Structure 1
Amino acid sequence: MRIDVLTLFPNMFAGPMGESIIGKAQEKGKLTLNVSNFREYSDNKHKTVDDYPYGGGAGMLLKVQPIYDNLQAIQNESPATKKRIILLDPAGQPFNQKLAAEFAQEEHLVFICGHYEGYDERIRTLVTDEVSLGDYVLTGGELGAMVMIDATVRLLPDVLGNESSATGDSYSNGLLEHPQYTRPPAFKGMEVPEILRSGNHQLIADWQLQESLRRTYLRRPDLLADVALTPQMEKMLREIQQEENE
């Protein structure tokens, strides 16, 4: 996968995008990450990238020209690949695990990180997606882009050390992840559930599913509306509801 990032602050990406899973993905050749400063594409001598909005209003807007020319340069470098161009914007669709999985299927992603008050509306005609990290406003799109890149790249084949790690993550199946434990079996009076030490794989799987349902019911019941519950899961959920209501 190739990922390009358009930003006014490329140095923000140097540390986080070179460490951990993202850094290893690049070392393995699974990811090519390019970060460009779209200020360099400004066509005026002062290299300005923003201006006052027509009609008045607070703040400055990013101009269309530098971003357009930066995108054209990327297209010229990689004309054959289909690109998904993502505009980081608080008014965009919320980012989630499903969208990360969609992005992970793409050959080439381009993230545009905004700044200042907003965008010239014509920038929106250049993109395929407008995405928000959440219902809040950051000073720029850089942190949001890093989060989306991390969530996407870890889903690429052979990036994680254990391929089953991603499939068991919270939200991957619509539910929150079940509780997990490691050694020692007992610590300061807190013990690992006996069933997890039983060696009975079916019982363990049933327990994990039940506790995943329990955690989702207690913490994020809104998620259950979008989960296709099997008869077994429906039975478990009824039992959980009864237990919690007693």
Structure 2
Amino acid sequence: MPLVAHLKELRDRLVKSLIVVFVVFLGLYFLAGDLYMILARPLEILLPEGGQLIATGVASPFFVPLKLTIVLAIFISVPYLLHQIWGFIAPALYKHERKVAIPLFISSVLLFYAGVAFVYFVVLPLVFGFFTSVGPEDINLMPDIGNVLDFCLKLFFAFGLAFEIPIATFLMVRAGIVTTEALASKRPYIFVSCFVVGMLVTPPDVVSQSILAVPMWLLFELGLVFSRLIPKKSIEEAAEAE
């Protein structure tokens, strides 16, 4: 296909993706308030007596749920968005590359969703429980709804990306950038790096940092296991055959 045809196809797929995101957004918009309360539920049930969620901005009651609805619309549309990306790049791949790419696409989506679910059901209750228990007794805790949303989204994306570590490890090994033996020999450095990343992207407490760092390290080990399942030689042979 000529370059113009590729650009036209890319434009059509972008338009389709935007339409799907917009349709999902419209379906969620009327539930925006309820969706926010579901998001804030792990914090709301841990607030001490007299504590409550507040809005410090005049427009916050409107824009905060709206922001959450937009993010959720994109989040729910991810499978379709990846399908459009796959439809655009698949014709340029060899047969053996498509066999590897399809499981990687599916597993990357599932791992990202797993990371978000892990945050909501495990991380948020622990983190909120820590912060609501360490404050002075004479201070009423009244979190701002905008700050709560930004905090949750930060954790969602941090853990969602962290759960992609097995995919990244697999791709680096398969591409020949690094070997499984070299990665395995650097386990101590990677373990420390996981805690450094946890320190940078989570609240400044040991519990939150460990909740991110330990799964990151375990996911790295999982990526090494997957990388050893398919010998590199077989992939090279398949490429040469095609």
TM-score of the pair, normalised by structure 1: 0.23
> By percentage of residues, which structure has more strand?
1
Q: Which has the higher contact order (CA 8 A, sep 6+)?
A: 2
> By percentage of residues, which structure has more helix?
2
TM-score of the pair, normalised by structure 2: 0.23
